[in-house]
Structure 1
Amino acid sequence: MIQSIQTIVQRLVRYYKTHSPYELAIARGYHVIYSPTLPERISGMFVPIGRRGVIFINTNVPSLRRPFIIAHELAHGVLRHEGERFTFQVDSHRLNWKRLSVQEKEAHLFSASLLLDELNFEDGMTIEQAAAVTGCPPKIIEIWLHEQTKARHGFSF
């Protein structure tokens, strides 16, 4: 799963020449709307409209976290997840990974791949430092690093 998602992310970044989730969303024809009317428990939402869509971001989400939320919602559009709409609930990244749907796992890994790709963990960067720089939740970074290791060593589960 991680390798195919990373390939998609790398192609997007190469084609649009940016790692910015916001810039990618706009370049792909998605509208990004910051909404104070989303319920407090919802950080973001993707509503598909044909081959395009609208990404809603709750204005109560701290600025640092917004790139992660936009990337997560962008993933639902890029990966063409089926369904009427997708919502990203506050702290949904803290849920049991095994209980998340495949679509939510893919969206989390897409977000992490997009935001963490340029960071160098081999130079001693910690998960907490990466979270502070990117807004990506530490638990998602940990899972992304674990998936990277499995992929490098040929494990698949």
Structure 2
Amino acid sequence: MDKLIHTLTRKYKTNNPFTIAEHLGIHIRFADLGEHTRGIYYSKLRRRFIVINSRLNSHWQRFICAHELAHDRLHRGLNRFFLDKYSFSNANKYERQANRFAVQLILINTNIHSGETIEDFFLKNGVPTEMIKYYTRNS
């Protein structure tokens, strides 16, 4: 995953998930997805889409874009709804991987300053503090 993130950010000269998705030909849409769904990744007729809940603030929208981008890069071809209903596979494993990817992508090339808390570091970089558990020091 680390190598993939470095490759993407080097190739497209950004860690902005919206820009990377655009370069990859992934269509971004915003829609009211209700209270419980933050985003969806799907493909239809060879076109790939990320749909982000329009109710979210800009930091969450960027994080969700990065999360759904992870599904495109790491889990393409897997259907979360199918996994939940018909398989013994742990779909949560893929969600954790996508969260870790999103945290690493957004925080690449940033460091915690001496005396800075992890919460302040996340807030400063626009990453939801709920995602701290997915952060690794080598991110």
* Residue 26 (str. 1) matches residue 17 (str. 2): no
Equivalent AA in structure 1 for residue 107 of structure 2: L
Equivalent AA in structure 2 for residue 83 of structure 1: L
Question: Scaled by the length of structure 1, what TM-score is found?
Answer: 0.72
Aligned in 2, Cα 1:12/1:103: closer, same or farther, shift over 3 Å? same
Aligned in 2, Cα 1:6/1:50: closer, same or farther, shift over 3 Å? farther
Distance in 2 of aligned mates of 1:20 and 1:124: 27
Equivalent AA in structure 2 for residue 114 of structure 1: L
Name which of 5, 10, 17 aligns with 1:14.
Answer: 10
Residues 109-118 or 136-145, more deviating: 136-145
Q: Kindly tell me the number of residue pairs found equivalent between the two proteins.
A: 131
Asked whether the equivalents of residues 59 and 128 of structure 2 are also in contact (C-alpha less than 8 Å), the reply is: no
Distance in 1 of aligned mates of 2:114 and 2:18: 28
Deviation at 1:144, TM superposition (A): 1.8
Distance in 1 of aligned mates of 2:16 and 2:46: 21
After superposition, the C-alpha distances for 1:86-126 in whole angstroms (9 at most, x for unaligned) are 7xxxxxxxxxxxx8622111101110110111221253432
Partner of 2:124: 133
Equivalent AA in structure 1 for residue 120 of structure 2: Q
Residues 133-142 or 71-80, more deviating: 133-142
Distance in 2 of aligned mates of 1:27 and 1:120: 27
CA RMSD of aligned residues (A): 2.4
Equivalent AA in structure 2 for residue 44 of structure 1: G
Partner of 1:112: 103
Distance in 1 of aligned mates of 2:93 and 2:10: 26
Unmatched segments (≥5 aa) in structure 2: 82-89
Deviation at 1:74, TM superposition (A): 0.5
Q: Which has the higher contact order (CA 8 A, sep 6+)?
A: 1
Partner of 1:43: 38
Distance in 2 of aligned mates of 1:124 and 1:26: 37
